[in-house]
Structure 1
Amino acid sequence: RKGLALRYGRTMQCIAGIHYNFSLPEALWPLLRDAEGSSESDRDYQSSAYIALIRNFRRYSWLLMYLFGASPALDKGFLRGRPHQLEELDGETLFLPYATSLRMSDLGYQSNAQAGLTPCYNNLDSYTDSLRKAVGTPYPPYVEIGTHVDGEWVQLNTNILQIENEYYSNIRPKRVTYTGERPIQALTSRGVQYVEVRCLDINPFLPVGIDLTEARFLDAFLLFCALEESPQLDNGECSQCTSNFLTVVKEGRRPGLELHRDGQPITLKAWATELIGRIGQLADLLDRAHGGDEHAKALEEQQAKVDDASLTPSAQVLARMTEHDENFVQFSLRQSRIHAETFREQPLPAERQQAYETLARDSLAEQSRLEQQEVGDFDLFVGAYQASILAISN
């Protein structure tokens, strides 16, 4: 983590969000491939389908920011004197009145070094090629710092990315890696296994930051992205997707807000209502598979937010701060204490507590054993790790 702290600052690393992993059953992909009459192998068809899901996610992820964005304000100290266009809510708090997720704006976890890095999601090869280039291309400000300061490692290399997982994106194609294997190697050799959604804010009104209602909507939304037709993205549509997303994170609750679809203006409310209606067909299928109507209810709850922006988490954050006459830090501490008390009132059963304590002891013992077996120094390890990216480039 030292290299990340040096590149982006410790304050930036305090930003937290939810990563939501999603996959479809492995047995489904061959059935879909046969139904489409595709000549691709099972592995290649599955990878292509997940990349197509990601393209649709880029088209529609602005909806998630409207519905679940929960960071319309921040403490003044976070910016540390950086220029901004935020407004003052009080003496200690900055905000934008219609923002949904400042965390996902250019004020959040971003990197100037990565500004020109836009991996293409039209196929897996172009995506991995973009990342491979980034982990092998020096970035002058990082070169100036160097890899060592006073004989100590401060970053693994001086390239745009130290490792692939340093790339900031709203969603990633993923594959579980073997010990010592790089993410690019796993994707290249075995294809995409699941996607990782990375743009979701922690909801400060929920004890664990997310609830089943949100998860059920996400499942229906991502299933929609997977099954909906997903044409290739050209440069114009890529820019439009990015613009729509950034517009919603900064002013998604603005009355009458317009986005752009196929180059034409459309109100957020009209487009969101249309999308939720189409996603509803998948929610109905999920309810038929699981029994009950929980997915349909989850969609109804999201439609209510579209109809009334005051019901969104971002609006609720500002409303509660105003109601209690508190700044951002005071609001955050009050919610944290509420959630802490919730968990204290629900202690783990004794047998489960004991099981976790045993797992913790065993884990620490295993860590100690592995550390005692380690041979060689860190310099050699880093050298071998860096060389591995060259091996899969050739």
Structure 2
Amino acid sequence: MDWLQTFIQQADMKHAFKQASVGIEREGHRITPDGDLALTPHPKKVDGSTTAFYIQRDFAESQLELVTPPSYTSSEVLEWLQAIHEVAIESLDNDERIWPYSMPPKLPNVDQIKVADLEDLDAVAYRDYLVEAYGKQLQMISGIHFNMQISPEFIGKLHQELVEKHDDQRSIKDFQSDFYLRLARNFLRYQWLLVYLFGAAPVADASFYRDKNDTFEQGPVRSIRNSHLGYVNKADVTFTYDNLEDYVAYLEANVANHHLIAEKEFYSNVRLRGAKKARSLLTTGIKYLEFRLLDIQPDAPYGIKASDIDFMKYFILYLIWSDKDSNMDDVRYGIEIKTKVAEEGAFDVTSMQAEGRALLADMQSMLEAIDADQAIIDVTNQMQARIEDPSLTPAAQMMTAMKDIEGYLATGKNFAEKVFQSAWEKPYALGGFEDMELSTQILMFDAIQEGYQFEILDRDDQMLRFSYKGHQEIVKNGNITSKDPYVAHYVMENKVVTKRVLAEAGFNVPQSLEFKDIDQAMKVADLYTDKAFVIKPKSTNMGLGISIFKHGANAAEFKEALEIAFKEDGAVLIEDFAFGTEYRFYVQDGKVLSIVNRIGANVVGDGKSTLEELVALKNQDSKRGHDHRSPLEIIALGAIEVNTLKQQGYDVSSIIPEGEQVFLRENSNISTGGDSIEMLEAMHDSYKEIAVKMAETLQVNITGLDLMILDIDAPATDDNYALIEANFNPMMMMHIYPAFGQGKRITKDLLQFLYPEKTKFTGGTE
């Protein structure tokens, strides 16, 4: 097939050829902190419905399956796998962990192993059949399934080349199916190489073996999972990958003759994907392939490393590039060799070494021809070293470190503990996506947990698209949705219009003056010498550019505050100060879900540290960070903070008396270093009713309303509260992770608001 290699090496085809998408399914059992198989039901925090996308159940109730969406780079796949893994761990009950290996931990009596408790009764019946046909122990093996779709652009251009220059008469659908079938045959013929390079199931506890005579005389092997003790078809099951019509006919005949209970019982390390039923593939064509032979890698926190993904991807591409076109005799030989290599001793030189050398050398030639990144060339060099030295293979490395079964069980427990602790280091963040705004991270966490599917439309712009049974919703910045009219955002962004609309509706708002240049504003400075007031930009949020003067200001202070505000906007408001305590009301769908009292950036003195040192110490809190990637923001020492200190008679070098609280900001925004205290239950209901009516007046479903209230225990009157700001994209993390009090998971309320039809199933025991 020299013509194919020549075609691939064209400048535009090299890129398309390498643009295959990959998705991972990683299985793993829940275990107790002591390393025993968890006998508890599926965690109630996780949607266990068969429609759930990212976290599913495999055979057993204890067996999680973590599924990533298709991605184009190994780093993206790992980001998703890390995120889903951390959501799973943080959702488990009783401090359970996830077992890190393909072979299970020590198993209890088989009567205690429960098949997955699913709402789909047919799925449960199928699992019950597997118990009778194969025993529970076999089904407790876990692994990595590698889903890969070759670039449709590449396949389309290749088909066009064949039609125009080689007189190929096949439709694009039929050509694509034939293309994938050739790839499947080649993979099955040469799959032994991956078993050798990635085999990581050398031993199993005695409790795994259904027949106590099922042992390997030579001791630890490369992969029990890929041996005759793993997933192997019954002797009477027949199949072919020659063409799609015969593949479907054979599979259906096996079911009709009761050699298989269902098509999915057909155990093959390659599955044809694109439809739920094999016969439907004749209509849809094969869309992608699922490769099912990889063992969970013992040194990978999430079961597989980026370098493993890259090698697997490029090995599959090599099987396309190669002039090999395996037939069914080759396939049957490949299956035989795969089993033989799996059962070789973990430290033995493989009997297939010469072929392995040739395959990897040929693959290196392809990598150079298609200008592959140096990283995959280096990884392939490492695989060549494994061919020469079996002690470098995962199975051998495991046995070198673990020694025996006891070591295997102990090491598995310890590694699961390490991954568990890592997941909990930043429970507020979503590992893999920590560069995104925190409210968006939390919304993604909840969507994974609740069984929604979503994609990141624009990572920098924090834009997500959610899907559930065909219903799609786009969400930006955590809570900007289609449920609010676009014009409402502009109304709330404009503080003058917001107050006018609310004042006309009878709500209490402070009076203000608007200016577009400093000189005009300075003409009224004398009015505020002894009057409490606020200077702030007309159209910004998050406390930017705000200066507050509770006791008036001189001309210099007045001008400095104007300069700060005009840096943020072309128009500035000078507003009467509303006395009282400020509270943020989070309103959604006609309900107040959370209220927090926000306290401006502050420190408490210890009698010996300077104010600058106190700020630095408080900023060491792991919950503080920058740009809304953490629950609390770093406290700055800029012009506004220095000015606020000056009004109190302090500067950054002042030593603050022990126990004295000093505020660095008059405004209480979390965005400028403030703290939050949950106050929903303590707040008088009359203020909640006012907040709901304000949202209705502004014609919004989601908003954050800032109210100044004199006494939260007293009913609202015309003069004991005032609205100072309405926010169209209110910060969510201050409500979810307040500095004090019980947080409210308002992101889950948002998902339920967007998808009222969505229900959750965790099992019949709930």
Aligned match of 2:342 in 249, 259, 268?
A: 249
Equivalent residue number for residue 122 of structure 1 = 242
Is residue 294 from structure 1 mapped to residue 375 from structure 2 by the alignment? yes
Is residue 105 from structure 1 mapped to residue 227 from structure 2 by the alignment? yes
The within-5 A match list for 1:49-128 is: 49-87=179-217, 96-97=219-220, 99-111=221-233, 114-128=234-248
163 and 273 in structure 1: CA distance in 2 versus 1, 3 angstrom threshold: same
The within-5 A match list for 1:197-346 is: 197-235=291-329, 237-251=330-344, 253=346, 255-258=348-351, 268-284=352-368, 287-288=371-372, 292-322=373-403, 326-345=406-425
SS of equivalent to 1:30: helix
Equivalent residue number for residue 163 of structure 1 = 262
How many Å separate the matches in 2 of 1:45 and 1:325? 49
61 and 232 in structure 1: CA distance in 2 versus 1, 3 angstrom threshold: closer
207 and 346 in structure 1: CA distance in 2 versus 1, 3 angstrom threshold: farther
CA contact (8 A) 2:347 2:396 kept: no
Equivalent residue number for residue 264 of structure 1 = none
CA contact (8 A) 2:198 2:297 kept: yes
SS of equivalent to 2:357: helix
How many Å separate the matches in 2 of 1:242 and 1:257? 16
Gaps of 5+ in 2: 1-126, 431-437, 451-747, 762-766
**Can you list the C-alpha shifts for 1:62-97, whole angstroms capped at 9, x where unaligned?**
00001001001010111133432424xxxxxxx734
**Can you list the C-alpha shifts for 1:1-49, whole angstroms capped at 9, x where unaligned?**
3333343333222211100011111121232234342221111111101
SS of equivalent to 2:250: helix
208 and 134 in structure 1: CA distance in 2 versus 1, 3 angstrom threshold: same
SS of equivalent to 1:251: coil
Number of aligned residues: 320
More helix by share: 1
User: What's the CA shift for 1:279?
Assistant: 1.2
226 and 76 in structure 1: CA distance in 2 versus 1, 3 angstrom threshold: same
User: What's the CA shift for 1:231?
Assistant: 3.1
| Letter matched to residue 340 of structure 1 | F
Is residue 134 from structure 1 mapped to residue 251 from structure 2 by the alignment? no
CA contact (8 A) 2:241 2:328 kept: no
17 and 27 in structure 1: CA distance in 2 versus 1, 3 angstrom threshold: same
SS of equivalent to 1:73: coil
| Letter matched to residue 358 of structure 2 | E
How many Å separate the matches in 1 of 2:408 and 2:170? 52
How many Å separate the matches in 2 of 1:346 and 1:295? 32
Q: Deviation above 4 Å: which 4+ runs of structure 1?
A: 252-256, 285-288, 361-367
How many Å separate the matches in 2 of 1:129 and 1:82? 38
Equivalent residue number for residue 357 of structure 1 = 446
- Give 1 or 2 for the bigger CA radius of gyration: 2
The within-5 A match list for 1:26-65 is: 26-36=152-162, 37=166, 38-65=168-195
Relative to the length of structure 1, the TM-score reads 0.74
Aligned match of 1:4 in 111, 130, 134?
A: 130
How many Å separate the matches in 2 of 1:285 and 1:212? 22
> Which segment drifts farther, 10-19 or 215-224?
10-19
> Which segment drifts farther, 292-301 or 192-201?
292-301
CA contact (8 A) 2:347 2:391 kept: no
User: What's the CA shift for 1:53?
Assistant: 0.5
357 and 314 in structure 1: CA distance in 2 versus 1, 3 angstrom threshold: same
How many Å separate the matches in 2 of 1:17 and 1:167? 17
**Can you list the C-alpha shifts for 1:270-296, whole angstroms capped at 9, x where unaligned?**
2211111111233335654xxx41111
> Which segment drifts farther, 54-63 or 129-138?
129-138
How many Å separate the matches in 2 of 1:321 and 1:121? 40
| Letter matched to residue 228 of structure 1 | S
More strand by share: 2
Aligned match of 2:288 in 194, 200, 216?
A: 194
> Which segment drifts farther, 73-82 or 212-221?
73-82
User: What's the CA shift for 1:325?
Assistant: 8.6
CA contact (8 A) 2:226 2:338 kept: no
User: What's the CA shift for 1:166?
Assistant: 2.0
Identity value in percent: 29
346 and 320 in structure 1: CA distance in 2 versus 1, 3 angstrom threshold: farther
How many Å separate the matches in 2 of 1:47 and 1:69? 30
How many Å separate the matches in 2 of 1:224 and 1:53? 10
CA contact (8 A) 2:199 2:394 kept: yes
Higher RCO structure, 1 or 2 (CA under 8 Å, sep 6+) = 1
SS of equivalent to 1:300: helix
CA contact (8 A) 1:47 1:192 kept: yes
User: What's the CA shift for 1:317?
Assistant: 1.1
How many Å separate the matches in 2 of 1:17 and 1:365? 36
SS of equivalent to 2:179: helix
CA contact (8 A) 1:287 1:295 kept: no
**Can you list the C-alpha shifts for 1:369-390, whole angstroms capped at 9, x where unaligned?**
99xxxxxxxxxxxxxxxxxxxx
How many Å separate the matches in 2 of 1:325 and 1:59? 32
216 and 355 in structure 1: CA distance in 2 versus 1, 3 angstrom threshold: closer
Equivalent residue number for residue 154 of structure 1 = none
User: What's the CA shift for 1:184?
Assistant: 1.0
| Letter matched to residue 759 of structure 2 | S
How many Å separate the matches in 2 of 1:278 and 1:229? 11
CA RMSD of the aligned region, Å?
2.6
CA contact (8 A) 1:53 1:227 kept: no
216 and 358 in structure 1: CA distance in 2 versus 1, 3 angstrom threshold: closer
133 and 104 in structure 1: CA distance in 2 versus 1, 3 angstrom threshold: same
Aligned match of 1:172 in 271, 295, 302?
A: 271
Gaps of 5+ in 1: 88-94, 139-159, 259-267, 371-394
User: What's the CA shift for 1:220?
Assistant: 0.9
